[in-house]
Structure 1
Amino acid sequence: MTHDAQETTTESAVPERLFDMFTPASYAEWRAAAEKTLKGVPFEKRLVSKTFENILLQPIYNASDIADLPHLGSLPGFAPFVRDTRILGPVRERWQVAQELPYPTATEVNQAAQADLPRGLTTLNVPLDQATRQGIDPDAAAPAQVGAGGMSLATLDDARRLFDQLDLARIPLLIQTGALSLPVAGLLLAAAAERGLSSDRWQGTLAADPLGNLAAEGSLPASLERCYDLLAEWTRWAMTNAPHLRTIMVSSYVYHNSGASIGQEMGCALATGVAYLRAMQERGLDVNEVAPRMQFACSVGANFFLEVARLRAMRMLWARIVAAFDGNEQAQRIHLHVRTSAWTKTRYDVYNNMLRATGEAMAAVMGGAHSLHISHFDEAWGLPDEFSRRIARNLHIILQEECNFFRLIDPPGGSWAVEKLTDEIAAQAWAFFQEIERHGGMAAALAAGMPQEAIAATRNERFAAIAQRRDVIIGINMYPNLDEKRPEFRQIDHLQLHAARAADLRHSRDNRSDEACRTALSNLATQRSVAAVLAAVRAGATLGELSCTLTAADTPAPQVTPLPTHRAAEQFEQLRDAADAYTARTGRRPAVFLANIGPLAQHKARSDFATGFFQAGGFAVINNDGFASVEEAANAALAADADIVTICSTDDTYPAVVPALTHAIKTQRPTTTVILAGYPTDLIDTYRAAGIDEFIHLRANCYDILARLQRLKGVAA
């Protein structure tokens, strides 16, 4: 055979595609094989999981699942923008590293910014404290409000300290001002102007979110109509004077942190955005002027593919809404800021929060976030230190430079699973949005308590799943570490801060002309314009004085039931807190003795289960290799001096062991609580009659049982 003939034969023997070597398998064949491995357990029960959005997550998706989806033909940068609002996605414009600097004073925020900007930070993201967001000077606020959630801002001196030595022309802002923008904006604009920065060079977001603040606080500093009037004034001024600044915030953090499903959170955000579009139109602004001025901000949680899909769905739905308002394609492009979830973060085993934040950050990046805050691992405890800031900030850099995510445009695009989930989440969010609209819009729905009730129901479902450990939180309700040595955390001394801020206010007022300030505030009361605000700021007016003047002679402010802030781990953390306090009080940890019956193979599965079960409540577990007799087990249990004894063995062993062992223990120590690991259905009443107080098993409510035991044994009140 010639060389040419050999080469031809070899080439013809190689298949063109790898999959050509295998016989194609249909979904029906795959499912039949999967069901065979389940050995009679229903396919839907074991392999299909239901989310809190009522979406059924399938174990595998195929082309038929997305065959009829209308958005599949879209391209990045083109309506409906499901793949991205930018043609090249993050390739030409990376996501902004917008780490929150949540310190209570302007000096501390400035110091952190100066340290972090040369090390990867690209946006000055400054949360404001509760007093500032409500338009209250710190000396007039309750101490708990000052520094709560962010920086206290009240005077022009505060704004000067915030901007000291910062190159404002090169640093975009991300500041949510509360229900009103003008007081905060006036202070910051005046300070920046002193540093030579004209307003037309401002970048980023300096925006109010009246409905978001109403949902979070339950009230506003003014009527909603007055808030909208001032928001329109700020937006109109920025269109002319600060063309690169977004002025309207739609934040869904409050809904997420109250336990909402993705569909509920998105529905509330859409309804809020629609309310702002309508309000601005009523005040003479066009949708094509307003929509580009809007900044959406949402949290991304733990369910990776759902979270990727939700950002894609949000772009698509907002484009649909703006198009319905006759907005052009430019106006249909949503601007998305994302923060990793506060709901998912824990106070115990805190370094696990780094791992949680990593997964959430990847979902945000793959979903197409324009800017991103990655949670500091100690966020649930208090203020971040330099180390926790560095770890969170460097995660951005790793995702960009080592993982090369900035080179990818909609990386999950075309995935059968992600495309199907994008469509399903969009449907859920749209349905909840329409329900809010049927209630008269977001403000009316909040007044009626409709979103609050729906979110409370979802939150209760979440807590029930966590309590039963169907939803696992590592280090909390599963695999807790009772020997954990927690790092030092810095928390705010609100009383000390309140006193210091009150002194700052006195100094500021002592160094101004009261007559000039009164005159400027009088002019502001009649004009309510940005120019009048700036004049009052330069005359020495404080944030509280500006807010009171802008909201004077107003109709009553709305009152609604606020949405409470929660974290998924908080119930089990309360158990751990109680157990730790008991340990500090008594010198010993509350304990459970395991009465393991038989050889290791006989009791190990249930003794391991019981160990994790009780440790989740902060109980020390006294384990052993097993006992050969009831008498031996009873003697060891009594000698251990534990208030709780748990019997661990097999269902077959229990009839001969449980009554006798329970009797032996309770005869000597009647106050001992005896628990059985397992739930032998046919003998429950028999064992209860024999003295068994509780049963622990896979379907048990772990939290309820542990809380009950803590109260019974004096661990918790």
Structure 2
Amino acid sequence: MDDTQQDESLPFDEFPRPTFEAWQVAAVESLGGKPLDKLTTPTYEGIPLQPLYRREDTASIAAAHTVPGQAPYLRGAHAAGYVERPWAIAQELAYGRPAAFNQALRFDLEHGQTAVNLLLDGPTRAGKDPDAAQPGEVGRGGVSLASVEDVAVALKGVDLAAVPLFVRAGTVALPLLALLVAHLRRAGRPVSDLHGCLEDDPLGVLAHEGALPLSLARAYDEMAQLTLWAAHHAPRLATVAVHTYPYHNAGANAVQELAFALATGVAYVRALTRREVDVNVAAAHLRFDFAVGGNFFMEIAKLRAARLLWAQAVAAFGGNDDAQRMRLHARTARRNKTAVDPYANMLRVTTEALAAAVGGVESLHVSPFDEPIRPPDDFSRRIARNVQVILQEEAHLTEVIDPAGGAYAVEALTDQLAREAWALFQEVEHKGGMAEALKDGLAQSRIAAVADQRAANLAKRRDVVVGANQFANPNELDPLVDETDYEALHRERAAQISTYRTHDDDAGPLSAHVTALERLADMMVAPPETMVETAIAAALSGASLGEITRTLRLNDSARPTIVPVSLKRASEPFEALRNKAAGYTAAHGAHPRLFLANLGPPRQHKARADFAQGFFEVGGFEVLTNNGFPTPEAAAAAALKSGAPAVVICSTDETYPDVVPPLAEAIRAQAPETVIILAGRPAEQVEALKATGVDEFIYFGADCLALNEWLIERISA
């Protein structure tokens, strides 16, 4: 291209610029005169999605006109975005044994993973050694760690200077740090190599579990001690995390998720600054972990709004620009994943991962498709990991700074979300903060209201979960199962920690072990730096995680209990239907069957027959269909011959008055217990049709869940 061509301007002014008003007129015409509101989409956030967004929608949004890396960080925490710092591929590995975790981790780090994301099992998160846990708890959902040796096995061959370490520590971040630092010192590795986050999150644990194993005051004391120690010894290691997973997976909308995350972060900064941690240090050691769901643009806007809101909150504390920078991790949500037709989860996580990347996360976990069912296998781990690799290496998202920047829809949604979330956050603050909002049930009740709306829409199939409440696969292979023997795992780990405590060798003599625990108890009122170092010394001497945790919390005050948020995957009620159908099959030697009495040619019955088939296949029914019958008598004879305990009549409203009475009468005469259902619900005919023998009606908007539950109970009686 020569210089003349480069300077030549394109004469776009020859085209008339349409006005918004002209577009509105054309849109109304295309709707046949219906109001333009028909093109808006309602959301659970109460923020309707508009059919068109324009420059005017973002002109007054100041943050939208900033640049990446500039406070309030709407457009990203770093100026060069992923071009300079690609997000970390931080896949969780839910294996119970330290050796199994290590084997999977080392393989995955060689095949695309770029961070260690360590999930702990329930007993470890609660500060219990395996022999103090209940059978079935150990190793479920995460690795069991109880000693320095366990940490050494789990992290064998992993260079913690090269990869960040994220540990969802619950309320045992300080005891876990003691084991981790003891491991590094034994190995002769500098503690300053540590970077990532230990994810101390007592309010998140309280929301999820309904109880804490220590008082909030003691939890905040440990948080402050941990943070001050890390600021001095491992300045790149964050120590506190705000997890939104409990709220998201309980059904919260994006406004609630943002508000409760912000309120939790503010509670932590407030608690730390009251314990002599500088606000800039406190904010720099805090990370936010968001769940990302399937509402693509809303999720992008949520992550952008989170950065904006956090910058605003930290600024109110007097934090500097760097302290206002949010450290942001995300994982794909559990709420919308299915145990039935689980391979569809691969598709769900792909859009969620893309939303997270476009939203500007710094690290990300993409769920393996079998996450609702079992620990991942090699195949499911590889597929999940490669979703991220493809987004980085093939979709080239790491070559773009702020992919969503300037998109009118995203910027407008971000602004609306931020305003609504800030208002709810202020309401929480007026209640006394996030802890009080959990204690008095404010958070739970707000989430439950949205969760109830979601459940009702799922039951009536206004919201679709493919494979669960719509488009069920009647030929699905045998379901995946978790084959882990948790009882054996509990016995194995309990024996290991018992041996560890009593074994006397150069690494940890029993006398030194006891002395270290006594010293730890004596140092309960020591300065924070000494407190953490004493815990590390106890770990080096052979103290277990459970022993360190118990000693730290001697003489603790009352421990809070609340009603936890209710966690349930969206598809669980429909999966329960399938289980009932499987129980019927086991008891009767055949699937629950349902016959379609299709009347007339295909054009007369097919639409409703297809609807009926899909309606009942989600309940696990074997649907017997056909090309239609010329007369009600022929349909009745075929229905009786099939032996199906339920029949669905499919035809048109116009034909029902003539065909339903003789068909129902013929069936009732020979099989009076047969359930008769009508596809459709002609309002003016309902009572008359019931009088002829129709038991129920199915139609768009009918409660699919309730009707399937009623039918399987009816034919099982």
TM-score of the superposed pair, with normalisation by structure 1: 0.96
1:443 to 431, 435, 452: 435
Distance (Å, rounded) in 2 between the aligned partners of 1:47 and 1:659: 42
Offset at residue 689 of structure 1 (A)? 1.6
1:386 aligns to 2:378 (yes or no): yes
1:207 aligns to 2:199 (yes or no): yes
1:590 aligns to 2:592 (yes or no): yes
Distance (Å, rounded) in 1 between the aligned partners of 2:579 and 2:54: 47
Please state whether the residue corresponding to 1:67 is helix, strand or coil.
coil
1:38 aligns to 2:63 (yes or no): no
1:685 aligns to 2:678 (yes or no): no
Distance (Å, rounded) in 2 between the aligned partners of 1:594 and 1:60: 44
Residue equivalent to 2:516: 520
Letter of the 2:517 counterpart: L
Offset at residue 21 of structure 1 (A)? 5.9
Residue equivalent to 1:25: 18
Distance (Å, rounded) in 2 between the aligned partners of 1:33 and 1:608: 36
1:261 to 253, 260, 266: 253
Offset at residue 31 of structure 1 (A)? 2.8
Residue equivalent to 1:431: 423
Residue equivalent to 1:649: 651
1:16 aligns to 2:18 (yes or no): no
Offset at residue 396 of structure 1 (A)? 1.2
Letter of the 1:335 counterpart: R
Offset at residue 655 of structure 1 (A)? 1.1
1:281 aligns to 2:273 (yes or no): yes
Offset at residue 486 of structure 1 (A)? 4.8
Higher deviation after alignment, 673-682 or 579-588: 579-588
- Deviating 4+ runs (over 6 angstroms): none
Distance (Å, rounded) in 2 between the aligned partners of 1:149 and 1:594: 44
1:501 to 493, 496, 508: 493
1:300 aligns to 2:292 (yes or no): yes
Offset at residue 89 of structure 1 (A)? 0.7
Please state whether the residue corresponding to 1:452 is helix, strand or coil.
helix
1:53 aligns to 2:45 (yes or no): yes
Residue equivalent to 2:159: 167
Please state whether the residue corresponding to 1:351 is helix, strand or coil.
helix
Distance (Å, rounded) in 2 between the aligned partners of 1:323 and 1:637: 72
Pairwise mapping of residues 559-578 of structure 1 onto structure 2 (< 5 A)? 559-578=561-580
2:671 to 665, 669, 673: 669
Distance (Å, rounded) in 1 between the aligned partners of 2:486 and 2:251: 27
Residue equivalent to 1:580: 582
Distance (Å, rounded) in 2 between the aligned partners of 1:11 and 1:510: 80
With over 3 angstroms needed to count, the CA separation of the structure-2 counterparts of 1:183 and 1:703, relative to structure 1, is same
Offset at residue 20 of structure 1 (A)? 4.8
Offset at residue 36 of structure 1 (A)? 2.7
CA deviation string 1:117-144 (max 9, x = no partner):
1111110101111111111111111123
Distance (Å, rounded) in 1 between the aligned partners of 2:616 and 2:487: 38
Letter of the 2:27 counterpart: A
Distance (Å, rounded) in 2 between the aligned partners of 1:634 and 1:270: 63
CA deviation string 1:27-77 (max 9, x = no partner):
333233333333355442x42121111110112212222232222221101
Instruction: Indicate if the aligned counterparts of 1:180 and 1:230 stay in contact, CA closer than 8 A.
Output: no
Letter of the 2:365 counterpart: H
1:463 aligns to 2:466 (yes or no): no
1:125 to 95, 99, 117: 117
With over 3 angstroms needed to count, the CA separation of the structure-2 counterparts of 1:488 and 1:696, relative to structure 1, is closer
Residue equivalent to 1:545: 547
Please state whether the residue corresponding to 2:16 is helix, strand or coil.
coil
Instruction: Indicate if the aligned counterparts of 2:503 and 2:510 stay in contact, CA closer than 8 A.
Output: no
Residue equivalent to 2:528: none
Higher deviation after alignment, 686-695 or 583-592: 583-592
Distance (Å, rounded) in 1 between the aligned partners of 2:557 and 2:636: 73
Letter of the 1:213 counterpart: V
Residue equivalent to 2:236: 244
Offset at residue 491 of structure 1 (A)? 4.0
Distance (Å, rounded) in 2 between the aligned partners of 1:37 and 1:663: 48
Pairwise mapping of residues 192-231 of structure 1 onto structure 2 (< 5 A)? 192-231=184-223
Distance (Å, rounded) in 2 between the aligned partners of 1:64 and 1:708: 52
1:337 aligns to 2:339 (yes or no): no
TM-score of the superposed pair, with normalisation by structure 2: 0.96
Distance (Å, rounded) in 1 between the aligned partners of 2:143 and 2:308: 35
Distance (Å, rounded) in 1 between the aligned partners of 2:35 and 2:654: 27
Pairwise mapping of residues 368-379 of structure 1 onto structure 2 (< 5 A)? 368-379=360-371
CA deviation string 1:426-450 (max 9, x = no partner):
1222122122112110111111111
1:135 to 106, 127, 134: 127
Instruction: Indicate if the aligned counterparts of 1:221 and 1:551 stay in contact, CA closer than 8 A.
Output: no
CA deviation string 1:157-182 (max 9, x = no partner):
21111121222221210002111311
Instruction: Indicate if the aligned counterparts of 2:340 and 2:479 stay in contact, CA closer than 8 A.
Output: no
Residue equivalent to 1:4: none
Offset at residue 699 of structure 1 (A)? 1.1
Letter of the 1:510 counterpart: T
Instruction: Indicate if the aligned counterparts of 1:15 and 1:21 stay in contact, CA closer than 8 A.
Output: no
CA deviation string 1:446-474 (max 9, x = no partner):
11111011111111111111111111111
Offset at residue 336 of structure 1 (A)? 0.3
Residue equivalent to 2:527: none
Letter of the 1:33 counterpart: A
Residue equivalent to 1:144: 136
2:472 to 480, 491, 501: 480
CA deviation string 1:475-534 (max 9, x = no partner):
111111110125754443221111111111121022144432222112112324111111
Unaligned runs of 5+ in 2: 525-530
Please state whether the residue corresponding to 1:555 is helix, strand or coil.
coil
Instruction: Indicate if the aligned counterparts of 1:168 and 1:192 stay in contact, CA closer than 8 A.
Output: no
Letter of the 2:518 counterpart: S
Distance (Å, rounded) in 1 between the aligned partners of 2:191 and 2:457: 50
Distance (Å, rounded) in 2 between the aligned partners of 1:551 and 1:704: 49
With over 3 angstroms needed to count, the CA separation of the structure-2 counterparts of 1:462 and 1:162, relative to structure 1, is same
Instruction: Indicate if the aligned counterparts of 1:105 and 1:151 stay in contact, CA closer than 8 A.
Output: yes
Letter of the 2:446 counterpart: A
Higher deviation after alignment, 394-403 or 424-433: 424-433
Instruction: Indicate if the aligned counterparts of 2:200 and 2:240 stay in contact, CA closer than 8 A.
Output: yes
Distance (Å, rounded) in 2 between the aligned partners of 1:348 and 1:207: 32
Residue equivalent to 1:713: 715
CA deviation string 1:170-196 (max 9, x = no partner):
121000211131111111111122222
Higher deviation after alignment, 382-391 or 657-666: 657-666
Question: Paired residues, what number?
Answer: 704
Alignment RMSD, CA only?
Answer: 1.8
Instruction: Indicate if the aligned counterparts of 2:193 and 2:234 stay in contact, CA closer than 8 A.
Output: yes
Instruction: Indicate if the aligned counterparts of 2:80 and 2:401 stay in contact, CA closer than 8 A.
Output: yes
Instruction: Indicate if the aligned counterparts of 2:373 and 2:480 stay in contact, CA closer than 8 A.
Output: no
Letter of the 1:555 counterpart: S
Residue equivalent to 1:612: 614
Higher deviation after alignment, 626-635 or 525-534: 525-534
Letter of the 1:484 counterpart: E
Letter of the 2:10 counterpart: E
Letter of the 2:515 counterpart: T
Letter of the 1:16 counterpart: L
Instruction: Indicate if the aligned counterparts of 2:64 and 2:75 stay in contact, CA closer than 8 A.
Output: no
Distance (Å, rounded) in 1 between the aligned partners of 2:9 and 2:514: 86
Please state whether the residue corresponding to 2:232 is helix, strand or coil.
helix
CA deviation string 1:319-343 (max 9, x = no partner):
0000000000000000000101111
Offset at residue 22 of structure 1 (A)? 4.3
